[in-house]
Structure 1
Amino acid sequence: MKTLKTIAVLLLCFLTATAFSQVEIAYNSESNAPVEEVSKPVNMAISAPSFVGGPEALADYMHTNVKYPEFSKKHGIEGTVVLEYYITREGTIENVKVIKSVSPELDKEAMIVAKNMPRWNPAIQNNRTIGVKYQLPVKFELHF
């Protein structure tokens, strides 16, 4: 258990060093519906999105919620699934997809956990919350 938690913390350290791209969505002022996506250059005065409670809370969330699929355990399947998702300006997670696959079972488990994450603290630029794409590696490792 301690090894899994240590791996999760190291993974989160990696995450904080990983760059993310910025996409801003223009909203209709009456309906608040998205009307267009505007790509903007990343300004250096940007605050990255963060899991509420910080990296340790994200490690705890992943440790508590990721369940190693039995099929993968039985067949010794290990690896790192890399997910990409959009963190909205409200901090919700949308458009989760696998950008680096390991196996259908591990990919599915990583996606389920990501889709069920609580709201994040959104990215902030120029004193406004913005939506951004974010990548999260989810490491599956068996310990005997």
Structure 2
Amino acid sequence: MPSTARRIALLLALSAVSLTAAQAQQKLKYPKTQSDQIYDAVAKPAVPVGGLQAYADYLEKNQQYPTAALQGGREGTVEVSFVIEKSGGVSNVVAKNSVDPALDAEAIRLIKGGPKWTPAENKGAKVRQRVTVPITFHLPLGAGGPAPATSDANEELKPTGPGGATVVKAEQPARPVGGTDAFFAWIQQNLRYPALARKKNIQGKVLVEFMVQKDGSLTDVKLVKRLGAGCDEEALRLIKAAPKWEPALYQGQPVKQKMVLPVLFTLL
């Protein structure tokens, strides 16, 4: 009887060992990754090809501040959510927080037109990963859209600007004759791409500040953001030679208004 008991105990022990081994073997098997699953966090996350600094440089260099947002004095940070595919491309690009329709659209354009990514990996296999990138729009110094405009004709307002000029909010902002699209079409038609910039493959934008006078002429033209290689000088030339604008209006009367607009240099 004791011998039988020992045999039973041994059989139970062997069964337990076999069960434990089977369970351990089962745990070693990785669950199959869903081919279309999107991960928010993985052991090896996706990174931009060229590195994060190069990607940040791309975003800064290629950002085109929408004219409507510039004129309206709108700025802020758009958080763009998108999916890095296994191929390194991007999809499902959306603005998580709406700052302004024009700024949202520009942030989405930047992400869609950006460089490829090195895809994320999970358990040794490439997977799709959701990423969020903040894109910030800061108004250049001196920009502010419809406000301020300056007037020296309204005596009821106290002088607050330099030289005694009155700073007011224009009821109707200055705008190009024929519209913004026509103005930028004129810029592109008359732009002479500098030879040095073309040779060095330099592309980007120059931000130019100017004053729209009460007669619609453009004066006090100066640079806010430079690009170099002859692009700055060409941008100044274009604005100085540009057609007149419709001046800003305050209480039905034309007033001076400061504007900041981008001149784009793009090699085709």
TM-score, shorter chain, exceeding 0.5: yes
Q: Which residue of 2 aligns with 1:76?
A: 201
Amino acid in structure 2 at the alignment position of 1:40: V
- Cα–Cα, structure 1 residues 52 and 41, in superposed 2: closer, same or farther, change >3 Å? closer
The whole-number CA distance in structure 1 between the counterparts of 2:212 and 2:227 is: 24
> Per-residue deviation at 1:41?
3.7
Alignment partner of 1:102 is 2:227: yes
TM-score by length of 1: 0.76
Deviation at 1:22, TM superposition (A): 1.5
**Conserved 8 A contact 1:83-1:137:** yes
Alpha-carbon spacing, 1:119–1:106, altered in 2? closer, same or farther (3 Å): same
Q: Unaligned regions of 5+ residues in structure 2, if any?
A: 1-64, 74-143, 154-162
Partner of 2:256: 131
Name 2:96's counterpart in structure 1. none
CA deviation string 1:94-121 (max 9, x = no partner): 0100011110500000000000011110
CA 1:117/1:87 → structure 2, altered by over 3 Å: closer, same or farther? same
Matched, 1:24 2:24: no
Give unpaired runs (5+ residues) of structure 1.
Answer: 1-9, 27-35
1:38 matches 2:38? no
Distance in 2, Cα, partners of 1:73 & 1:14: 29
Q: Is the 8 A contact 1:83 1:135 kept in 2?
A: yes
Aligned to 2:188: 63
Give the C-alpha shift of residue 76 in structure 1.
1.1
> Does the CA-based 8 Å contact 1:25-1:131 persist in structure 2?
no
Give the Cα–Cα distance (whole angstroms) in 1 for the partners of residues 229 and 152 of structure 2. 32
AA of the residue aligned to 1:42:
K
Equivalent-residue separation in structure 2 for 1:37 and 1:65 (angstroms): 37
Distance in 1 separating the partners of 2:186 and 2:261: 13
Amino acid at match of 1:52: V
1:47 and 2:172 matched: yes
Give, in angstroms, the shift of residue 24 of structure 1.
2.1
- Whichever of the two has the greater Rg, that structure is 2
Structure 1 residue 14, shift from structure 2 partner: 4.6
Higher RCO structure (Cα 8 Å, ≥6 apart):
1
2:194·2:229 contact (CA, 8 Å) conserved in 1? no
What number of residue pairs does the alignment pair up? 123
The residue that corresponds to 2:48 in the other structure is none
The alignment's TM-score, normalised by the length of structure 2, stands at 0.43
Higher strand proportion, which one?
1
Structure 2: how far apart are the matches of 1:115 and 1:25?
A: 24
- Which residue pairs with 1:116 in the alignment? 241
| Aligned mates of 2:230, 2:173 — CA distance in 1 | 30
Kindly provide the amino acid, as one letter, of the partner of residue 125 in structure 1.
Y
Root-mean-square deviation (Å): 2.0
